[in-house]
Each structure stands twice: as structure tokens, then as C-alpha cells.
Structure 1
Amino acid sequence: MHVPPIIHPYFFELCNIDLCLSKSKRIKLLGAVKPLGNGDPHKAVSSKIVWHLNWLGNVDDNVNTLYIKEIVNLVWENEKACHENPNAKHEIADEDYDHAIITECMKTYFRNIHKQASEQCSHRQAVTKSRRQAASAYETQSGNKGAVVMIDTDFASNILSYDSEEDLSADTLSRWERAKLVKLVFYVEGSKWCSVDYVAFLCWLSLCNMQKNKEHNEPDMDAADDTARPPATKRRRTNNTQKHCKKVFDLALAKMNDNKPKSHKKNVPFKSMVSAVWACDHTDDKFLDGTEWLTGFYEKTAQGALIKEDEEYLQELQRWHEKEMDGEMDADEMAV
């Protein structure tokens, strides 16, 4: 049995994903759906039930089983109504109008999304592994503790792919063109909760990887630089020719996700990793003390000590956070 077109909309609708978006965008949003921390299969959002399944889990996991069962019931009832209406066109062939067949069809579609979600996760894991190794070298040489602990796959930015230029919005296409990258490279979706200092630290760790690869004449994989040195203690002009270039490009800041920092390892971010605006808006969330050395990391990093594209993005990010903070302060003053 081929997957009938009627199935696709239900997968998106139940997860509250706009069907007007491009197919590629819908698939990416669907693959980014995360399970709820309390284990519930769904939650009410503005009187609408929104499902939160686990794409990285097994198709037969409890929540995923309930999700598939819900879609099977919707498909079954829709087809039943078509059979009862002589003027309606059937979506499913009579020989396939069977609960078991439809269920297996749902599972096949689930496994396709699971594969894509797993690939996205594997990219983040590879980046995290190299950063963690570089952070270990940094921690040893600088004496700044906590660097390794803060490197968590679930805290990393989303690394996404696209099928064609048509999948990119005008502003995203413009950012890709400015980056002067080849077609179909990955793009990165940042997180609003990350402080500029934390993002700058991650960028610096990635540069350590590139430096080692070049020294050892290795391909540009995210391996660590065992000889990584801490960045300069204050910003200054340097004669850096910026030989290292990123092979991904960053989405516009307005497209950063607003997901909470949630680690399956139960790791909790340090306060220094979290932006001031996010902390103000999430006063009930708990963040750890420590890693005070990270505060001001970006300002202390010498100009030219980061990849040119990262430096430009961090400048943009810093301005964005400053504007967000100004808006927060204005709102407080108005409230008073």
C-alpha cells in the first residue's frame, strides 16, 4: 500500500504545523517536535490538542503508538464518510481499507521522519563531540572549570539541510548568497536562550577543530584541537588573514527557536550560558552558578581570533540581544 495523500496532513495538523508552509519546511518542523518532559502524549494549546511524540524513539513507544493510533482513526473515519457518500472520491483502495494495513502505512511514514530526525541529531552529536574535546583542552590549559560540562548535544544549535533553493525564504537565500557557499549546504538555527558569550565560546571551539585539521592535513571534520590555547584576555586588532571559512550559514536571528534548554542527560545550563533577557522572562527556571569566567568571553576575545563569518554573526547577535534588553527595560518602566 502506498502512503495515501490524506495521511500527510494529519501528521502535521496534530503537531500544530502550518500546512501552508513548504513541504521541506513542514518536514523539518515535524522532525524537530520533542516529547513532553512529563511523558504526556500531548498538551492543550489555546484549546487545541498538540501532540509531542518522540521521533528519535522507537515507533512502538507508548506515545508514538498513541499518535499513530490517533491518525489511523482519523483516516479510517474519513474514508468511512467517503464510502457512505456516493459522490465522494475514495482516498484508499477497498483492499487496503483495513486497520492493520493503514497502521503499517503510518509506521512506514513515521520511520522516514525518524531517519531524518536521526540524521539531524547525528550532525549535532558530531559537532558536540569535537567541541567537548576542545573544551577539555581549554579547561586544562586555562584552569577554567566547567567548560566540558556545558558542552551538551541538546544545547547545540539545530543543523538543518534543504532540498533546493526553492525551500529557502528570500532573506535566508540572501544570507546563503552572502556566505558564498556551495548549494545545498547545511544551515544553522540558533536558540534565543543562548548568551552571546556562550555562542562565541562554541564558535571558538569549532575554530580549534579547523586549526587542528589544517595542521594535520585532515579533512574538515569536527575533531578537536588538542593544542587549543585560551583566547586573548582583551579584544584587540590582529593581523588575521581569516583563512578559515565556515561551511554552513546562520539563519536570521528572527528565526531563532525559542525552545527551552532541555537536556536528556538532565544537564542544567550555567547562568553565564543564558542570555539576560531569557533569564528575565523565565524566572521560574533554574540555572547553575559557576563558570563566571564565561561572562565577557566574547568581549575578551581578540578581534580576528574567530572565523570572519562567526565574528559578523556574533556582532549581529550582540546587537539583537541589546535591543531585546532595551525592549524589556522599556516594558518594565511602562509597568511602573
Structure 2
Amino acid sequence: MKLLITGGAGFIGSHYVRTRLATPGPGPHITVLDRLTYAGNRDNLAPDPRLTFVEGDICDPLLVDDLMAGQDAVVHFAAESHVDRSITAAADFVRTNMLGTQILLDAAARHRTPRFVHVSTDEVYGSADTGHWAEHQPLAPRSPYAASKAGADLLALAAHTTHGLDVVVTRSSNTYGPYQYPEKIIPLFTTNLLDGLPVPLYGDGSHRREWLHVTDHCAGIDLVLHRGRAGEVYHIGGPDELANSELTTLLLELTGRGPDLVRHVADRPGHDRRYALDSTKIADELGYHPTVPLADGLAATVAWYRDNRPWWHPLTPRHHPTLATG
């Protein structure tokens, strides 16, 4: 099987690539296309004869067309993904997340690529006061990041209707684990606390998120790649919902720090209060169930950052802006 993985040097994409290459047997041949922005790291991928790495931009139509030829499937991770950055640089998010996705879809349609998995986010639904969103929930994004991802989702699903392209969309909960660039709440707070530095908690800390370990996220994507129904959306939800203040308490405990390092900072504009996904569809159709409890996954993640300071320390200038939640 020949796979084109966009954003494969980033956090989730590189985990997916490492997992696929670790599968016993000959495995797939994987081509990774990654622009190596601040959040992409070539060192996330070890050399492997089944891996071809291409540094390039999904917004480059000639490059994308060349790489798409002969692929059996695309798994599209590449995205600008941090909400805070989108508030001050929205055009970058529209360019990569929407234009880049459309260029990939156009190339896949021309080459009749057998399957296209578009990886998205729960943030496209806006904020959920109660209950859990099913896949038919109307989209109501409230940040430039979420709006650009919602637009990309619609472009992907439209390519299925218009061109008959075999597209499947996944939307996941907040994902955490090793190799995550230290701007989202878990790696940012963990690296700050390991260095004995304060952590910036937005508002009163009551914003709630579901948490999904990257291993479970990638397992769900792989199920959708191989068995998902064309033209469908699948939720890959996390098993644990916490307020950001509760998550902060867990990180303080795991790093051996006290609450005196917590700094409550002004909330960001349009900050969604809660995300919550109903993952019944992927469980019933594909047999997906997350396997990593938050307590275990969080402890392992903090241990990874403690043991891998040379990976993250060069990425963390000690005058962090207020980057507190995903």
C-alpha cells in the first residue's frame, strides 16, 4: 500500500507514521509531505527504507500533483492548528487549512486516488453547553482556526458528492502525548512546570475538554482509513472530560509542583466553554474504543517530557506568550 501523509512530521501525523512503520511485515510505503513549520520536526521520524520525506507545501499544486500520482490513499493531517495563533494570523489558517485541502482534493480527484482521509477537530461545532455532539450536529465554529477547519471539512465532503472521491472525515477530541509542540496546554504546562516556571491558566479555568491519547487517536484514524464508509464523518472521542483547572492540578501533582505556580490570565476572545463528542458511530460500525486512561496517558506523557528535554527545550523560549488551551 502506498500512503501519502500530509503533516507527517507534526505531533499526530508523526505518531501515525511511526505506528504504521512499526507494524510487523512489509508494511506500507509512506510518503510524508511536510512544510516543517515551527510545529513540524524532521527528527520526529527515524530513517526507514519504506519512508520518503518531502519538505514542501500542500499549497504547491505542482508538487502535490506529482506526489499524488500512484498513491493508494491520503491521510491529511497538515494544518495550522493553534487557536491563539489564528486570532492574530487568520489568513495563514485559511491558506493552509482551506486552500491546501482543496489543492490536495483536486489532485486526488485527477488521479482517482482510492481513499482520502481528512483529519479534523471537534472545534468545528463551537461550544457545547450540555450533552454530546453527534456527527449530524450543525457546524458553528467560533474561532478562525475552527472556521478554517469547518470550511476544509465541507470542501472534502463536497469532493465526495461532486467528484465521487472516496473521502472520509474524522473529528477528534483534544489530543495529547509525546512529541507535541509546547504551545497546547499539556506540553506547555508540563515543560514550564518541569522548569519551575508559572503556567498561564485562562479565566477561571472552568473550560472543559475531552482528552484523547495520540495512540488512540491514530488507532481510530487507521480504522477509518481501512473500513470507514465513503462520504461519512466519524468522531474519535476521548474517554475523559476535565475542566482545565482539574487538568492543571493533575499536572502539578505529576511534576511535583505547587499551586503557587498557577497564574490566572485574561481569557482569550471567543473561548469555547466545552467540547464533547458522541463516538457511538465509530464504536458501533468499526469497533473503536479508546484504550489509554487519562491517568496512565498523562503520567507517561509527563515522563516523556521529563526524559526528553533535548527535544523540547530548544522550542521553549522562557518568555512564553499566553498559549494555554487548544
Query: Given the two structures, how large is their TM-score scaled by the length of structure 2?
Result: 0.27
Question: More helix by proportion, 1 or 2?
Answer: 1
- Say which structure is richer in strand: 2
- Greater relative contact order (Cα 8 A, min sep 6): structure 1 or 2? 2
Q: Which has the larger radius of gyration?
A: 1
